[in-house]
Chains A and B, each alone.
Chain A
């Protein structure tokens, strides 16, 4: 663990990413304390530009709602969706990959064909179709994004398991009569996990973007304030009040950049590159 932190701290990208994410996470968690207003409340004159009124530092939108409050609550929704989707995708993917890798044979073949089937459909289309059918809500969006993202972790986990299960220590465990489930969870999985975890950043970033894209297309949760939804609402006013789209857009960009940089640090820290070389 200590080595992990030391390696992470030696990566400038990782530190920068971690700082950005920390800031966003703080804003998201502390949102109800620093900005007690309801993000959906109509509080002022509509379309006040940013920096023109001290009570609305980032201005108001077309219905007179405070943009700063909405931005901060948007961070909450985006990060929640991103992390939950990644969790769903990693859990499901690792489970399927490990089972396939360890079981081999027909089970492996069948599971991998399922993975293929999911992989030939672009993740965004899958999410779009799923949300259209199931109805837009944050929970459905999390599942939808997970549905499109679990195949990467599954393939990676399977590949790792295939290589690990031939290693000597796994063979020894088998020889001493360890239960297969125990081998899977105590010997194989912990060693297969690091490369899979390095996918977290990619999935979280993709999830944040997919949620924003769904909201932009009108398939976001209408009861939640999200960055994508804010951009979509601002779209008709792009030429008269561009700040309505630019502000949440900046939020989105900083979150995604932060996540990618953090991911870089993670890859260094998990020393995935070094291991293969």
Chain B
């Protein structure tokens, strides 16, 4: 077994986000590994559709990424931050109108049929571009995919498309489906969406609803000597406290996505059989944001938005709401995306007096025994942290004389209220930074997005100058120029505050010390696990 070189970028990524947390990369050279074995991990939900080519979300990837592979996976030390999977190389044309992928030789689907460029062309045109939540945006200008031979796929675009964006999107967008099972069927309703067939290290064996998913070793996997495990079980454990108990009892060996509550980590880390790992989430940064409805006359005033930003004590949020497992945010791009992160932006340090002064200036003076103005605050119910942030923000606003009424909803109710009916003033939301601002970040600011598009700018904010930068970056092929455009984007967003970024957080895994090679790529929890093994 080789000892991977720890790159500077990898180090930066792992230390930047979660300074202070127990960041202990385990490469597994200290222990002897046993060939085979069964790994049992906790799954907190059972996705209705297990097809990552259609639903590119972490809940689906967590299970499906072991069965269905992308063209390339994120990597700490690979060129461009990528490690080849089904593609071995990618080359962009100078005009940005085409990208050529060379595909891996000798790969077969789990049902024995050979994997060819036709599968890639079919997946790209019929699934990623047409059906997938993220592909629909990133591949909007994809016109055709040519297949000159069985191992070459050439993506042709109608507008210049930056190779940097395509590369950054590959791990999320490019899950390849078997054409022979999907062609000519209703793709969204295909039975293979629930019993996936892929090229990955593990073969789907069975799903017992409410109990487990069972995956078995792919004997014909292309990776040399991989996968290491014989069997992989995802045990359905929706209860958060239950996952912690199952770990301590040794019934499961891994719980990911902070399924073990942060408040339990201190106790868990005292257990010598278990380890708290924060690596493996670097490319899955979640962002705690305050979304603002700019249709509200009061919030339309920049001084009011600045006052709200100054009223939030980000240090308190990180230390108390996230118990230290987060980093203070400075803008729309998180620090652990060093390729794009711009530190030189307008900052809003915690300053109650300044916030009050700004509200006075804005024309909302303090009133005796009354509030300057009242707003409705909708905390997203997705995480206990977003709910706690709602309680905190209500208090922080009360301190500067603003009355906030909390409105609680269930998840669909919240999504509809904020993104469809625009029935909110402020909302506490969770956004995801997916490696490139064009994938899921600029759409929180851009105007003209149809009503009802979840996790997009539905606050009625429209800034033609920022829109122009976003549009230009989308067709700028030159990497350096593109990065500069996004630097400008970050400066403008922090100056004009269409939304307020409060904190960036990664998740934690609690893992048995016997499991090796945990967290060795920036999307580890949602990657293939071909090299994951259990110590003898």
Chain A interface residues (CB < 8 Å from chain B): 38, 40-42, 46-47, 62-64, 132, 135-136, 218-219, 222-223, 235-241
Asked if A40 meets B408 with Cβ closer than 8 Å, knowing A218-B381, A237-B263, A240-B267, the reply is no
B residues sitting closer than 8 Å to A (CB atoms) are 240-241, 244, 261, 263-264, 266-267, 316, 320-321, 379, 381, 384, 388, 390-392, 394-395, 398, 405-410
Known: A42-B392, A236-B384. A241 touches B263 (CB 8 A): yes
Chain A residues whose C-beta falls within 8 Å of the C-beta of B406 in the assembled complex: 222-223
Is B263 within 8 A of A236, CB to CB?
A: yes
Measured between beta carbons, the chain B residues less than 8 angstroms from A63 are 320-321, 388, 391-392
Output the nearest chain A residue to B409 by Cβ-Cβ distance. A135
A222 touches B390 (CB 8 A): yes
Q: Is the interface of A mostly helix, strand, loop or mixed?
A: loop
Decide yes or no: A240 and B410 within 8 Å by CB, A40-B391, A40-B394, A46-B320 being known contacts.
no
Given A222-B406, A240-B264, A40-B395 contact (CB < 8 Å): yes
Taking A40-B395, A62-B263 as contacts, is the C-beta distance between A236 and B241 under 8 angstroms?
Answer: yes
Residues in A with CB closer than 8 Å to B264 are 237, 239-240
**Chain A residue with Cβ nearest B248:** A239
Contact of B408 among A41, A218, A237, A240 (CB under 8 A): A218
Contacts of A42 in B (CB 8 A): 316, 392, 395
Nearest residue in B to A235 (C-beta to C-beta)?
Answer: B241
Q: A218-B408, A239-B267 are in contact. List 12 more A-B contacts (CB 8 A).
A: A38-B398, A42-B392, A63-B321, A63-B392, A222-B408, A223-B394, A236-B240, A236-B261, A236-B263, A237-B261, A239-B244, A241-B263
Across-interface contacts of A40 in B (CB, < 8 A): 391, 394-395, 398
Could you list 10 examples of A-B contacts with CB < 8 Å?
A41-B395, A42-B395, A62-B388, A135-B409, A218-B408, A223-B394, A235-B241, A237-B261, A237-B263, A237-B264
The distance from the CB of B243 to the nearest CB of chain A, in whole angstroms, is 12
Question: How far is B388's CA from A40's CA once the two chains are assembled, in angstroms?
Answer: 12
* B419: min CB distance to chain A, Å: 18
Chain A residues lying within 8 Å of B392, measured Cβ to Cβ, are 42, 63
A46: B residues at CB distance < 8 A = 320
**Which 3 residue pairs of A and B lie closest in terms of their CB atoms, listed nearest first?**
A222-B406, A222-B408, A236-B261
Question: In whole angstroms, what is the CA distance A222 to B409 when docked?
Answer: 10
Cα distance A222–B267 in the bound complex, in angstroms: 30
Neighbouring B residues of A218 by C-beta, 8 Å: 381, 408, 410
- Answer whether A240 and B241 are a contact pair too, CB < 8 Å, given A40-B394, A62-B320, A64-B320: no
Residues of B within 8 A of A132 (CB): 410
Query: Considering only CB atoms, which chain B residue lies closest to A47 in the complex?
Result: B263
A-side contacts of B394, CB under 8 Å? 40, 223
In the bound complex, what is the Cα–Cα distance between A238 and B407 (angstroms)? 26
B320 and A240 contacting across the interface, CB-CB below 8 Å: no
Residues of chain A with a CB closer than 8 A to B320's CB: 46, 62-64
Nearest Cβ on chain B to A210's Cβ, whole angstroms: 17
Residues of A within 8 A of B410 (CB): 132, 218
| Nearest CB of chain A from residue B323's CB, rounded to whole Å | 9
